[in-house]
Amino acid sequence: MNLTIAILGLAGLVFVHELGHFVVARLVGMSPRKFYVGFPPALVRVRRKGIEYGIGAIPLGGYVKIPGMHRPAPSDLDAHLARAVEEEPVLANTVERVRRPLNSGDLEATARVLPELEAAVELSSVSDGARRSAQRGLNEVRDGLGRDAYWRQRTWKKVAVIFAGPGTNLLVALGLFTALLMQDAWQIGVRLQAAADGSATTRIEEVLPGTPAEDAGLLEGDRIVGVDGTSVGARTLLERIAASEGRPLELTVGREDDTLTTRVAAEQRGGLSPGAAVERSARITWHVTKQIALFFPRLARGEGANEVSSPVGIAQVSSDALAQGFDDFLFVLGLISLSLALLNLLPLLPLDGGHIMFSLIEAARGRALGRVVYERVSMVGIVFVLMLFAIGLSNDIG
């Protein structure tokens, strides 16, 4: 059951990512053609105001189709109509009448002759598979010719639509962190010192006045090394305090060269104020961002490959966190949402960061790049993503 909930949580993060693209695309005047809960093929679908809404058979995340991601090119016809032309060679002449203005960049002339090719395909006797491929290609060309095509839009609109996906994941992460930090919790009234990497230690940095920790005689600089006779690390210490619900705990404390014991009962204290919680959430986000930014140079040096996980490992970690408590699960989900946002912002196609980078390049050169350029550059990004997936899957299986 925990694994199922964890998988649904991951699917939800992908879904809100696509929802971000969808909502902002509509706000800036690009009308998406499809929006699915889950991935096609469709189990249920309905069309409203030119948009196909559906529930996909693959229950992971969501899918949004934004029209005209690339400037139409003759290769679009070659890729989708080759089979139809092979089955019915008479179509070649009509295809060529569309290819010529498309090749010269005359999009208005292309729009005038495109209906002729669409009608010819519709009236042809080609196989169903060839017809579907041809119609899919013609729809893509028509979308690319439309005024709401992505590639035609001003740079700020394109960047806004693409950034909306990872931006939504970022907001989800901040929202989860903030909500958790505002919750009431069982505390003894100490602030633990942070290690160099930002993680907590068992050394007390501050004892808050008027708290059980002060009443128990704990001091700044003490190290809490055990609870009820059992050695603990920082994470276990916090878990034992949270789970005590006010039951007195016997703490083993290291103070300079001595070891002493003291009893303390946690009290339920209010969480951080909204402003303080947002500030702390931003610090957590910045810390994770730095760690991810430092990871890739390490990976290039052959270090840190054992830290990569595939969706298999991520789902298992989420499931383990849920077993420890729903709050732990939400915190891990926030970290995953943040990681999803940051990884998607890498300047590699077909990731969102790559599309943002190419939008800026097109703005600088004053004209759009063709699909062929996108496809060739995308191969680098695809290889990189597949490499990470293979390393992560190998780690998870191992």
Percent share of the chain, pLDDT over 90: 49
Q: What is the mean pLDDT of the chain?
A: 88
Is the per-residue pLDDT at 324 higher than 70? no
Instruction: For residue 251, give Cα distances in angstroms to 194, 263, 272.
Output: 20, 6, 25
Q: What does the pLDDT read at residue 203?
A: 92
What is the CB-side half-sphere exposure of residue 161 using CA atoms within 13 A?
25
The pTM score is 0.79
Does the pLDDT value for residue 223 go beyond 90?
yes
Distance, in Å, from the CA atom of 95 to the CA atom of 117, rounded to the nearest integer, reads 6
pLDDT at 327 over 90: no
Distance of CA 321 to the CA centre of its chain: 19
Assigned token pair, 227: 């609870």
Rounded mean pLDDT, 204-227: 91
pLDDT at 198: 54
CATH 3.30.470.20 fits 185-269, yes or no: no
The better pLDDT of the pair 153, 288 is held by 153
Q: Report pLDDT digits (tens) over 44-69.
A: 999 998 899 998 887 767 789 999 98
Q: Are 23 and 161 in contact (CB under 8 A)?
A: no
- Comma-separated ranges of CATH 2.30.42.10 domains in the chain: 185-269
CB burial string 49-62: b at 16+ within 10 A, e below? eebbebebeeebbb
Q: Which residue has the higher pLDDT, 50 or 270?
A: 50
Q: Provide, for the chain, the percentages of residues in helix, strand and coil under a 3-state DSSP scheme, each rounded to the nearest 5.
A: 60, 20, 20
- CA dist 277 → 53, 182, 186, 194, 288 (Å): 37, 6, 17, 18, 17
Cα distances from 117 to residues 71, 93, 99, 137, 146, in angstroms, run 19, 9, 10, 11, 17
